[in-house]
Amino acid sequence: MYGTGINQESMAKDKMIFHKKWRDAIKDLPAEARLEVYDAIGQYAFDDKVQEFVSPMAKMAFVFIKVDIDTTTKRQDEISIKRRLAGKKGGKAKINAKSKNKNKVISIAETTQSLPEPPKQEVQQKAVINKKPIKKQYAEYVLLTEEEYQNLVNQYGEDASQWMITKLDNYKASSGKKYKSDYRAILNWVVEDFYKTKGYGSKNTGRATEIAQCPSESTYSSTL
């Protein structure tokens, strides 16, 4: 257009808004002048051309209408440009997001693949550590591992160990008491009860070795 700063592409359109104030501005003009203004509006809006006017009144009326057309066209072009830029940014953002996600997936996959497998020996050692020792039933309610039972026998002798196991078995059966470790229960209070029942005083008197060495002194069942 002429001095409007609007490019030719922006004016390639097939519709326009005809304002009521334009009609009011030219309604009192002679018919020939009104027709000239109407033609001038169409040429300028759709073809970007300013026609030569025969009627000075028609030219004066068109000058004011032309300002409105230029303003409207400029506003529409600015909106169109903003929308195009926003669309391009949105497209780039989506592409970048997909690219980042793809890189993340690749990175995770590469990290997973690059993790070294633990040595078989280390795996076997962990399995041995995590494996719980098997407990055997030495009485109806008493469970001990072979190592725990052997520790009792080594320290207190066979008869004393049987006495302690039976004592704990009877107590659990009558009271409904449960222990995480029957072996620890024996060490915590059954041994002390054995000492007192047998008349050895306290387990802290140091007579455990003597008891283990002389198991025939008293059978475990004589005082139950």
Looking at the domain assignment, is residue 27 inside a domain? yes
Looking at the domain assignment, is residue 117 inside a domain? no
For 147, the enclosing helix (H) or strand (E) is: helix 146-156
Residue-number span of the structural domain to which 14 is assigned = 9-111
Q: In residues, how long is the chain?
A: 224
Q: Could you tell me the end-to-end alpha-carbon distance of the chain, in angstroms, rounded to an integer?
A: 119
pLDDT at 91: 64
Do residues 137 and 87 share a domain? Answer: no
Q: How many domains does the chain have?
A: 2
Looking at the domain assignment, is residue 208 inside a domain? yes
Do residues 95 and 137 share a domain? Answer: no
Do residues 184 and 213 share a domain? Answer: yes
pLDDT at 11: 42
Do residues 134 and 93 share a domain? Answer: no
The mean pLDDT values, 10 residues at a time, for the chain of 224 residues are 44 74 88 89 86 86 87 86 81 67 61 62 64 90 95 94 96 94 95 89 59 48 47
- Compute the half-sphere exposure of residue 71: CA atoms within 13 Å on the CB side of its CA: 6
